[in-house]
Amino acid sequence: MKGIIFAEFLELVEDTFGLETCQKMLDENQNDGVYTAVGTYDHKDLVKLIVTLSKLTGISAEDLQQVYGKSIFKTLYNSMPGLEGKADSTFSFINSVEEYIHIEVKKLYANANPPAFKFVSETETQLIMDYLSARCMSHVCLGLIQGCAEHFNETIEINMEPMADDQSEVRFTLTTV
């Protein structure tokens, strides 16, 4: 997984829970906390850090993933030049993530492995799609969609329904309110 994902996570943890908690989380995982934006790292390290942070803070790993996803949306959005004006709503942006953005990510970084979205149905007010990823970060996905809706100034109700026990496939139903 790209270093930008880790660096952003560590910054959020430090800003939200303080340097001491951030350091404790790293120490418990014998992790030196050095991540360069273009480097590639094992995504399991991120899962481990989130699990430790959950123990240290008493906040569930799912909630931590969600808050993190929401906060990283802007960073990801700004990391790819030319996105401004490409989409005019949350639904059209999510379509472009699957059809363009994550494809570009894979071209840019040979070993990147973003999730896939399988679109089930779409109307003006409702989008149903399946999130597919062996990384099982559906709550990061939830947060990213929330960050995206905020970016487009839309209020969207998000419903998640696991399609596999390990959360590798989750159905998202998005409804505009």
132 vs 82: CA distance, rounded Å: 26
**Comparison of 24 and 151: residue with beta carbon closer to ligand HEM:** 151
177 vs 167: CA distance, rounded Å: 27
Torsional sign, CA 88, 91, 96, 101: positive
Q: Which two tokens stand for residue 117?
A: 């979205």
Site stretch for ligand HEM (CB under 6 A), options 14-22, 46-54, 134-142, 155-163:
134-142
H/E stretch holding 122: strand 116-122
* Site membership for ligand HEM, residue 170 (CB under 6 A): no
Instruction: Fill in the per-residue mask, 38 to 67: x = in contact with ligand HEM (CB under 6 A), - = not in contact.
Output: ------------------------------
User: Would you state the torsion angle of the CA atoms of residues 4, 168, 105, 12, taken in this order, to the nearest 10 degrees?
Assistant: -20
Where does residue 102 rank: exposed (0-12), middle (13-18), buried (19+ CB within 10 A)? middle
Contact by Cβ (8 Å): 13, 54: no
Residues that bind ligand HEM (rule: CB under 6 A) add up to a total of 25
**Comparison of 21 and 79: residue with beta carbon closer to ligand HEM:** 79
**Comparison of 53 and 147: residue with beta carbon closer to ligand HEM:** 147
Instruction: Fill in the per-residue mask, 84 to 123: x = in contact with ligand HEM (CB under 6 A), - = not in contact.
Output: ---------xx--x---xx--x------xxxx--------
Min dist CB 49 to ligand HEM, Å, is 14
Residues at the interface with ligand HEM (CB under 6 A): 1-2, 5, 76-77, 79-80, 93-94, 97, 101-102, 105, 112-115, 133, 135, 137, 140-141, 144-145, 148
